[in-house]
Amino acid sequence: MNLGKVLRVYVIEPIKIPVPTSRRVEPAQQKQAPPVRR
Amino acid sequence: MSAVAAPDAVGAIVGWRAWTIAQIDGRFRLRSMVAPTVWEPLQVFEATCLRPRLRLFRRWNARHEAPWSGCQCGIYATDCVTAATYASGPAYGAERRVLGTVALWGLVAECEHGWRAADAYPCQIMIPEHRFAEESSMPLEAVALDLMDYGVPVALVGETELDELLREGHTAPA
């Protein structure tokens, strides 16, 4: 993959992982595979 | 770069990328497409430049932090259409690919067609289900379940949805 020329460089503060989303699954939660469409 | 939305986490950039699925110690994991490096669940993926390990480049440069502007190293992310193209490309043997969004931070080099970053973690993983239906060594349900170890949303996408991503692009999830 060629991303081309570097346009600019910057430094971004570290974040907490996993990246928070409203649908995030907690690792401690019971795991269930997503439904599979046939 | 039209297919990239505002970052999910404050400050982080969110782009798209594709991964290869690898089975590591009996669990399906994300692996880089161009290097045998595995993205471990709940661990920040940190870039290292692999180039100095190649004999051809041993005298070229000492170790440097990644990404470095004079190299091609770093964790790659791009737009949705490019990532979907990689994920929907021809399968090589048993290799199967997924795509998704990824948060980037630390030292980040913004390029013409994406980014190269020092640190990254997936935000969302999308599994092209039709690709896995053809490969019996990677049952779709098992792959999906194992990828949930990353603690981010895991979605199955059909051929039609993948085609839509390729045609129109998509906005990274909020």
B112 and chain A: CB distance < 8 Å anywhere?
A: yes
Indicate yes or no: CB of B112 within 8 angstroms of CB of A31.
Answer: no
Minimal Cβ distance to A7: which of B112, B121, B152: B112
Separation between Cα atoms, residue B38 and residue B30, nearest integer Å? 6
Share of chain B above pLDDT 70, in %: 80
Minimal Cβ distance to A1: which of B41, B76, B155: B76
A28: distance to nearest CA of chain B, Å? 10
Reading phi first (left if > 0) and then psi (alpha if -120 to 50, else beta), residue B88 is in alpha
Separation between Cα atoms, residue B4 and residue B15, nearest integer Å? 6
B 20-59 residues inside an 8 A Cβ radius of A: 34, 41-44
Say if residue B167's pLDDT is above 90.
Answer: no
Indicate yes or no: CB of B109 within 8 angstroms of CB of A9.
Answer: yes
Checking ipTM against 0.90, whether it exceeds it is: no
State residue B56's pLDDT score: 56
Nearest of B50, B64, B152 to residue A16 by alpha carbon: B152
Indicate yes or no: CB of B150 within 8 angstroms of CB of A2.
Answer: no
Element (H, E) at A7: strand A6-12
Indicate yes or no: CB of A11 within 8 angstroms of CB of B12.
Answer: no
Separation between Cα atoms, residue B53 and residue B35, nearest integer Å? 12
Indicate yes or no: CB of B107 within 8 angstroms of CB of A13.
Answer: no
Which 3-state string (H, E, C) describes chain B?
A: CCCCCCCCCCCCEEEEEEEEEEEECCEEEEECCCCCCEECCCCCEECCCCHHHCHHHCCCCCCCCCCCCCCCCCEEEECHHHHHHHHCCCCCCCCCEEEEEEEEEEEEEEECCEEEEEEEEEEEEEEEHHHHHCCCCCCHHHHHHHHHHHCCCEEEECHHHHHHHHHHCCCCCC
Separation between Cα atoms, residue A19 and residue A30, nearest integer Å? 20
A31 and chain B: CB distance < 8 Å anywhere?
A: yes
- pLDDT band at B15, cuts 50/70/90? very high
Euclidean distance between the first and the last CA atom of chain A, given in angstroms as a whole number: 33
B10 or B11, which is more confident: B11
State residue B26's pLDDT score: 94
pLDDT tens, position by position, A1-38:
788 889 988 899 998 888 655 444 443 444 555 565 55
pLDDT tens, position by position, B71-127:
888 999 999 999 988 887 766 667 889 999 999 999 999 999 999 999 999 999 999
